Amino acid sequence: MTDERWQRVKELFQAAVERPANERHRFIADAAGEDDALVREVESLLASDGADLHALDRLPLAVESLIAGSHTLSTSVEDQPNQTLAAGRCIGPYQVIALVGAGGMGEVYRARDTKLNRDVALKVLPPLVASNPDRIARFRREAQVLAALNHPNIAAIYGFEESDGVLALALELVDGVTLADRLERGALSLDLVIATGRQIAEALEAAHEKGIIHRDLKPANIKITPNGGVKVLDFGLAKAFDSSPDAALRGVPTLTATLDREHSLLGTPAYMSPEQARGRPLDKRTDIWSFGCVLFEMLTGRAAFGDETISDTIARVLERDVDWSALPSGTPARLRDLVGRCLRKDVNRRLRDIGDARLELDEALLPAASTVVSPTMPTSQRWRRVGSTIAIMAAAIFATAYVTRLDRQAPAPVFRQLTFRHGTIGGARLAADGRTVVYGATWIGAPPELFIIRPESLQSGSLGLLHAGIYSVSSRGNLAIALACRLNWGKCLGTLAEVPITGGSPRPMMKDVIDADWSPDGQRMAVVSFTGDGYQLQYPLDRVLYEPPGWITDARVSPKADRVAFLDHDELGDTGGSVATVDLNGNKTTLSTGWKSLQGLAWSGNGDEIWFTGSRRGKGGSSALYAVTLGRRERTVFSSPGTLKLNDISHDGQRVLLTRGTTRGGIMGLGAGAAAERDLSWFDYSTVADISADGRTLLFYEWGEGVGATPTIFIRRTDGGEAVRLGEGRPLALSPDVRWVVALQGRPDSQLTLLPAGTGDARRLPRGSIVEYLDWAAWSPDGRRVFFAARETGDVRRTYVQDADGGDPRPVTPNGFVGMGVSPDGRTIVAVDRYGEYYLCAIGEATPPHPLAGYRDGDIPLQWSTDGRILYLREGGNLTVRISRLDVATGARQFWKELVPPDPTVVIDIGSDPGQVRITPDGKSYVYTYWTFEGELYLAEGLK
Amino acid sequence: MTTVRSVTALLNDWSRGDGDALNQLLPLVYAELRRMAARQIRAERANHTLQPTALVHEVYLRLVDQRQVDWHNRAHFLGVSARIMRRILVDHARRHGARKRGDGVQCMSIEDAKELAAAPDVPILALDQALDRLETVDPDLAKIVELRAFGGLTIEETAHVLNVSPSTAKREWRTAKAWLNRELGTEPQG
């Protein structure tokens, strides 16, 4: 069709659709005259008009699920699936070889992965599970979460398969015996207890870090491989297989997980935590209890709480202490203490973090040298044993001497502050002389810039390079720098360029580089770059050594130039992960895992250790300087309050460049009757959730260092005073009478819960068919009902209402409309659709959502006024809070107020989540969250 | 901050017709989109802001210095994002398209199964091809579909990107939908 012709078609079509439907045909006929082809063309378009294009409308959702990497697919289950699979049958890519076991979780087959040519364990779901779409959906969700677990001590979950009504989970097939089998032969030696315990702890640590709780840790779920490695099986499956419709009972262990026929019916609750036995909500500390049980059993050869019958065992778990006299007399005090701290019945007094258990086990290694040599051993073996004992003792003596020497001699390190302006240090390196410092900094209000501090001046001087960052300084005095630096989680992502330290014009070498390091001779370079699909580590430049699943930073070539150390971050956008090296053949070795945040790495002066800064506890809180050897021996070099980041170590190991910084989330607010704003921050990551209508009570949560990175709910009076901790979770809204808080508790599968602000019991709201709760909720004005946003099976997000006393949730908005505020008469909800546009939805009426008039792009509705006529809107922009009043009826808007945090120069964000700015309906009080960051560069001497 | 200025500069270049600027923007924005998506899934954050539109807006806020740009740059950015979304989806569909037809593979992986299950809902390749055809007929209409359907832009945003009035954008969008509806109705779906 010619251009002109199409223009005519389009013109007619567009004119026609403006007319009433019954006039269109005549209009076209009249306008097209004799041109029948034109009439047909326009008519065919008209026939396709109106019917919404299914594909077009679904696209944003497809994009979303693609980006999120989580697919939702419809499930169809055939009736009565045949559960016993014949050999040769295909389930997805897996071909069944043989049945290897059966239990309450279904049957387990050995199967062949025909694509990857390896054998797997295929766990086939029992028909009870496989016939219930909700259960399948939940199972699938769990399986997806679990599949993200990737750790050498965890048996991997490869995926969830569905084929002709058979639902199966593909798992790593682990050879070896279970710890339960091994324990039938009696207690383990101390070394073995520590080695095994340590690996179990590492597995738990990796899972806890991802918010996954095992819930069913026991010797039968722990396998010892032929080479002494440990693999923890069935992570989180207790929950995935859970058949209890009542969410409160979730996570009761699978009493049926062993393959033993008899046990498969009853199993044992001997490893269940007291809170689990009581059916209480669980967190990671339930695993710590079970871990304590396993440790005890490895040490003694008998179960910590075993008894004849299930009810007797449960009674023991709940009431009796373990028999401490059963522990062998040679058990080191530290280990004894560790078991004790794991087995505290009061969950709040129990060991909090499995990472601490791992460290304790490490420390307990030294006394292991006192192991008595068994006199019944054959001589040769005895001598070998004695030899190794001597070696261990020698190591212990050496280590003791080393510690003593440290105690006696280590002088306090000396720190010299090098930078003083407000802002962020991007990176810093020492030149070959070990004294000249080159650093990149972003001062508030200025672009990233490179500075140099020469030993003779101690003053920062600009290198004249703007939008630049430093990667490395070579032994020959060349700088590897980032041009066009884009700050990316504190690192410069930019174009790698080379420039002499004495000045000159930079020579660009490679695009999209995030880190680079010269080899010790200054001839070669290790580079981490972004390829468009992912990250890669090259060393030298023509050789890709490693392509991570996530991303990597801080690549540093060893002093011997035989390997590259780096920080391996598992997930894009997350700074957690592990410390690893890769040799010149691309063999990667992980040295230390389980870090929640990691930034900064360098080789020690002699190359024996890799030093790095990070935290196992959380993202925002204190991080310390650690060292790990290639033999994985880890120690803490130095810790201080605030966040530490290692930038560089001089070649002689004498000087260390560190950045110290602090990120804070603070709350400012104007309480009822107050004349001025007051700082209502509590710990380090104070984040607003709600303010009571009278402006007297603030609901907030903490999720930083102060609470060990576990989101924790508090309320506090806005006139100051103590904050009261209500429990873990994410608070959403205060009830009108300020007696209840609606909150999300539990991860990853959060649950809508009502928490009493004073006395009373927490209540979980039944979830009906809700698959996922979103983070918005509000109370009805009478305080009897809760509105909330959630998702049922499929892609549908919408607003629901539920009686605070219970009952099932009922939808109150059409699909795709997510609530953001309830009017004071409880009859209208302001809701957002998936395109980010706002609507008013009449509650309980069949009228379609009515577009909200008068708002601007980026506006966020904050609150209805008391009379329901005005919506307070926050304007777009994350460094200011400008609030307008929108007349809901007329769409007229009026600027109302701008909130300005104290010391705005260091503010990096002001409550970018809608819930982080709250106003009372009368407009007299408000609270908001703001984020600040400040950092300074230090040169430390005497760190050892 | 820098990030910021270079993306801003790239946007400016792109809006002045520098095609290379777009190629530089794509990986940046794509990476940021993925990062943000990954971050949002993990963090206890508004799940309902994990819509592509909201995601794109947020990425924009992060990448572009608010003080340095005007509305038009924002519009250009949204245009880039729409292009990226389309590219991501089409690449994805294409990569798995061959296997979907089952060329002698006896067993199917979970990824394939997902593809298969997702495929009937969104015939992305067919839509992509239809869009290419629409582009030869009426490039403006094709652009509108890209912005609205792949970028999740509103009518107003679309109008700004294309520098037309919202009522024109609305009319054109309706026309484009009718055209595609007709086109996809007669074409075998891939």
The predicted-structure confidence for A853-911, as pLDDT tens digits, reads as follows: 888 766 789 999 999 999 999 886 556 688 999 999 999 999 999 988 876 656 666 65
Question: Cα(A368)–Cα(B69) distance, rounded to whole angstroms?
Answer: 65
Residue A628: CB atoms within 10 A of its CB come to 18
Using alpha carbons only, what angle is made at residue A646 by residues A645 and A650, rounded to the nearest 5 degrees? 160
Q: Which residues of B touch A448 (CB under 8 A)?
A: 1-2
User: Which pLDDT band, with edges at 50, 70 and 90, does A800 fall under?
Assistant: very high
φ/ψ of residue A652, rounded to 5: -85, 0
Rounded alpha-carbon distances, angstroms, from residue A142 to A136, A643, A772: 10, 34, 12
Q: Is residue B81 part of a domain?
A: yes
Contact A14 B175 (CB under 8 A): yes
The chain B residue lying nearest A11, using CA atoms, is B175
Q: What is the pLDDT of residue A934?
A: 74
The chain B residue lying nearest A819, using CA atoms, is B48
Q: Is residue B80 part of a domain?
A: yes
Contact A73 B179 (CB under 8 A): no
- 3 state SS for A850-894: EECCCCCCCCEEEEECCCCCEEEEECCCCCCEEEEEEECCCCCEE
Q: Is residue B103 part of a domain?
A: no
The predicted-structure confidence for A200-257, as pLDDT tens digits, reads as follows: 999 999 888 888 888 888 898 898 877 778 899 877 666 655 443 333 333 333 332 3
Q: Is residue B36 part of a domain?
A: yes
Percent of chain A at pLDDT exceeding 90? 30
Q: Which residues of B touch A487 (CB under 8 A)?
A: 1-3
Highest mean pLDDT among A427-431, A849-853, A932-936: A427-431
The chain A residue lying nearest B145, using CA atoms, is A56
The predicted-structure confidence for B132-165, as pLDDT tens digits, reads as follows: 889 888 988 988 888 877 766 777 778 877 778 8
- Nearest neighbour of B110 by CB, restricted to A160, A791, A837: A160
A922 catalytic? Reply is no
> Hey, is the C-beta of B124 within 8 angstroms of any chain A C-beta?
yes
CATH 3.90.550.10 fits domain A52-173:
no
Q: What is the pLDDT of residue A172?
A: 86
Q: Which of A216, A554, A570, A690 is catalytic?
A: A216
Q: Which residues of A touch B2 (CB under 8 A)?
A: 442, 447-448, 467, 484-487, 492
The chain A residue lying nearest B30, using CA atoms, is A532
Rounded alpha-carbon distances, angstroms, from residue B78 to A66, A237, A639, B38, B162: 19, 42, 45, 20, 11
Whether A405 shows a pLDDT value over 90: the answer reads: no
Whether A407 shows a pLDDT value over 50: the answer reads: no
Contact A835 B127 (CB under 8 A): no
Q: What is the pLDDT of residue A682?
A: 92
Whether A709 shows a pLDDT value over 90: the answer reads: no
Write b or e for each residue in A741-777: b if 16 or more Cβ atoms lie within 10 A of its Cβ, otherwise e.
bbbbbbbbbbbbbbbebeeeebbbbbbeebbbbbbbb
CATH architecture of A177-370: Orthogonal Bundle (1.10)
Question: Cα(A446)–Cα(A534) distance, rounded to whole angstroms?
Answer: 30
Cα-trace Rg, chain A: 32
Whether A181 shows a pLDDT value over 60: the answer reads: yes
Question: Cα(A313)–Cα(A319) distance, rounded to whole angstroms?
Answer: 10
Using alpha carbons only, what angle is made at residue A923 by residues A922 and A924, rounded to the nearest 5 degrees? 90
Q: Phi/psi class of residue A709: alpha, beta or left (left: φ > 0; alpha: ψ in -120 to 50)?
A: left
Q: What is the pLDDT of residue B78?
A: 66
The better pLDDT of the pair B59, A522 is held by A522
Question: Cα(A526)–Cα(A512) distance, rounded to whole angstroms?
Answer: 14
Q: Which residues of B touch A90 (CB under 8 A)?
A: 106-107
Pick the CATH number of A421-663 from 3.90.1170.50, 2.120.10.30, 3.40.50.9100, 3.40.50.300: 2.120.10.30
The better pLDDT of the pair B42, A498 is held by A498
Whether A294 shows a pLDDT value over 90: the answer reads: yes
**Minimum distance, in Å, between the CA of residue A834 and any CA atom of chain B:** 6
Q: Which residues of A touch B109 (CB under 8 A)?
A: 92-93, 115, 159
Whether A457 shows a pLDDT value over 80: the answer reads: no
* B 38-67 residues inside an 8 A Cβ radius of A: 38-39, 41-42, 44-55, 57-58, 61, 63, 66
Contact A831, A841 (CB under 8 A): yes
The predicted-structure confidence for A746-792, as pLDDT tens digits, reads as follows: 866 789 999 999 888 899 999 888 888 888 999 999 999 999 998 88
Beta strands, E only, A201-281:
222-224, 230-232
Of A746, A699, A751, the C-alpha closest to A724 is A699
Q: What is the pLDDT of residue A60?
A: 52
Contact B133, B184 (CB under 8 A): no
Contact A17 B174 (CB under 8 A): yes
> Hey, is the C-beta of B84 within 8 angstroms of any chain A C-beta?
no
Question: Cα(A730)–Cα(A742) distance, rounded to whole angstroms?
Answer: 9
Question: Cα(A621)–Cα(A662) distance, rounded to whole angstroms?
Answer: 8
The pTM is what?
Answer: 0.45
The predicted-structure confidence for A148-174, as pLDDT tens digits, reads as follows: 778 888 888 887 787 777 778 888 888
Place of tokens 């939805």: A841
Q: Is residue B104 part of a domain?
A: no
Query: Which residues, listed in sequence order, are joined to residue A460 by a DSSP beta bridge?
Result: A453
The predicted-structure confidence for A319-332, as pLDDT tens digits, reads as follows: 788 888 888 888 88
Q: What is the DSSP string of A778-826?
A: EE-TTSSEEEEEEEESSS-EEEEEEETTEEEEEE-S-TT-EEEEE-TTS
When scoring A59, A122, A929 by the number of chain B Cβ atoms within 10 A, the one with the most, hence best to mutate, is A59
> Hey, is the C-beta of B7 within 8 angstroms of any chain A C-beta?
yes
Contact B53 A834 (CB under 8 A): yes
**Minimum distance, in Å, between the CA of residue B159 and any CA atom of chain A:** 13
- Nearest neighbour of B175 by CB, restricted to A13, A54, A485: A13
The helix (H) or strand (E) run that includes residue A27 is helix A21-32
Q: Is residue B39 part of a domain?
A: yes
Chain A / chain B CB contacts < 8 angstroms: 228
Of A751, A842, A943, the C-alpha closest to A283 is A751
Give how many domains chain B has, as a whole number.
1
Of A423, A450, A425, the C-alpha closest to A436 is A450
Contact B46 A73 (CB under 8 A): no
Rounded alpha-carbon distances, angstroms, from residue A502 to A40, A428, A463, A483, A499: 75, 17, 9, 17, 8
When scoring A18, A43, A45, A67 by the number of chain B Cβ atoms within 10 A, the one with the most, hence best to mutate, is A67
Look up the domain containing B113 and give its range. Answer: 2-98+109-186
Lowest mean pLDDT among A10-14, A54-58, A493-497, A815-819: A54-58
Q: Which residues of B touch A730 (CB under 8 A)?
A: 44
The predicted-structure confidence for A333-361, as pLDDT tens digits, reads as follows: 888 889 999 999 888 889 989 988 988 88
Q: Which residues of B touch A832 (CB under 8 A)?
A: 48
Q: Where in chain A is the domain with CATH 2.120.10.30?
A: 421-663, 666-933
Q: Is residue B18 part of a domain?
A: yes
- 3 state SS for chain B: CHHHHHHHHHHHHHHCCCHHHHHHHHHHHHHHHHHHHHHHHHCCCCHHHCCHHHHHHHHHHHHCCCCCCCHHHHHHHHHHHHHHHHHHHHHHHHHHHHHHCCCCCCCCCHHHHHHHHHCCCCCHHHHHHHHHHHHHHCHHHHHHHHHHHHCCCCHHHHHHHHCCCHHHHHHHHHHHHHHHHHHHHHCCCC
Q: Sign of the CA dihedral A492, A494, A498, A502?
A: negative
Contact A92 B108 (CB under 8 A): yes
The better pLDDT of the pair A612, B166 is held by A612
Lowest mean pLDDT among A106-120, A203-217, A283-297, B111-125: B111-125
The chain B residue lying nearest A534, using CA atoms, is B31
**Minimum distance, in Å, between the CA of residue B85 and any CA atom of chain A:** 7
Contact A90 B50 (CB under 8 A): no
Percent of chain B at pLDDT exceeding 90? 0
Residue A933: CB atoms within 10 A of its CB come to 18
Question: Cα(B178)–Cα(A47) distance, rounded to whole angstroms?
Answer: 8
CATH 3.30.499.10 fits domain A666-933:
no
Q: Sign of the CA dihedral A395, A398, A404, A410?
A: negative
Contact A774 B7 (CB under 8 A): no
Q: Is residue B71 part of a domain?
A: yes
Q: Which residues of B touch A52 (CB under 8 A)?
A: 177
In this prediction the ipTM stands at 0.70
The predicted-structure confidence for A435-450, as pLDDT tens digits, reads as follows: 899 999 877 767 778 9
Q: What is the mean pLDDT of chain A?
A: 80
